[in-house]
Amino acid sequence: MSASACFQSPPLIASAHGSPLVLICPLRDQLQQVFEESYRELRPRAPLPELHVEFFSFANVNNTIRLRDGRLLVRLSDLLEGAPEYVLRSIAHILLAKMYRRPVDREHAIRYRRYLSTQHMSRKAHLVRQLRGRKRIASPRGHVYDLEAIFEELNRRHFHGLLARPQMTWSSERARNRLGHYDPAHNAIVVSRAFDHPQVPRYAVEYIVYHEMLHLKHPVKLRGSRRCVHSAEFRAEENQFPRLQEAKRFLKVL
């Protein structure tokens, strides 16, 4: 029998790379105790399974829990080493609640988000994504559209040529559920290869690139414990894109 659950910091989905880190005994014992106590709070009548908790060098602030052969295997991002005990308790609650499909306590969720949103943790997470994360950069030139040429034209037309061009690339897969994204850790704009097609009008591709250029101009802002991805300034500039509604309608039915 096996089951699993995982969660991560709100902004990112990333793959895991690296190897487990060896913990000194006091820290290992503290983590063990935190998870045992959180388990008993959530499942007071259930027998306590064998627990194995370790820090792991993920490429992001990822945390995972799996149930295998009656054992709970927990991996926490090594960026959380040194986190206060109340943060570790919130992580334990969230992971165990997700594992056993219980409601996540709102206070635990807020406490964890606030800790991740501190400048110290944000800088650490950004640096680790740069050092450990893998970003497959293909060519900006597709069969139909050249993303670098589109960027430069939009830059002149809408941004007075002031935006520094990031890496531009078509995605490796032809995904339709994700039009594109801007990756600040690798300074790259990625557009789904599904839109490099003669039947896709240029204005639709331009809108996708323009949207990601706005993410470049208007970085994510933190408001308390919440991330503001699309600010009022972002939305106001997005509304200035010619044929905006036409582009949205095309992409919605594609």
Residue 65 in tokens: 């829990």
Average pLDDT, the chain: 84
| DSSP symbol at 109 | H
pLDDT given at position 18: 41
| DSSP symbol at 193 | G
SS3 content of the chain, % helix, strand, coil (to 5): 45, 20, 40
Residue 89 pLDDT greater than 60, yes or no: yes
pLDDT band at 151 (very low <50, low <70, confident <90, very high): very high
Taking the C-alpha atoms of residue 98 and residue 65, their distance in angstroms, rounded to an integer, is 9
pLDDT given at position 22: 40
Residue whose pair of structure tokens reads 């990112």 in the numeric block? 12
pLDDT given at position 143: 94
Radius of gyration of the chain (CA): 22
pLDDT band at 112 (very low <50, low <70, confident <90, very high): very high
Q: Taking residues 61-83, report their average pLDDT.
A: 91
Residue 139 pLDDT greater than 50, yes or no: yes
pLDDT band at 225 (very low <50, low <70, confident <90, very high): low
- Half-sphere exposure of 187 toward its Cβ, with a 13 Å CA cutoff? 6
Kindly report, residue by residue over 185-203, the tens digit of the pLDDT.
Answer: 778 899 999 999 999 999 9
Q: Residues, the chain, total?
A: 254
The least confident of 27-31, 159-163, 166-170, 237-241 is 27-31
pLDDT given at position 21: 40
Q: C-alpha 114: how far from its chain's center? A: 16
> What residue ranges define each of the domains in the chain, with the CATH number in brackets?
2-132 (no CATH), 147-253 (3.30.2010.10)
Q: Which of 203, 169, 173, 172 is nearest to 186 (CA)?
A: 169
Q: Taking residues 126-132, report their average pLDDT.
A: 70
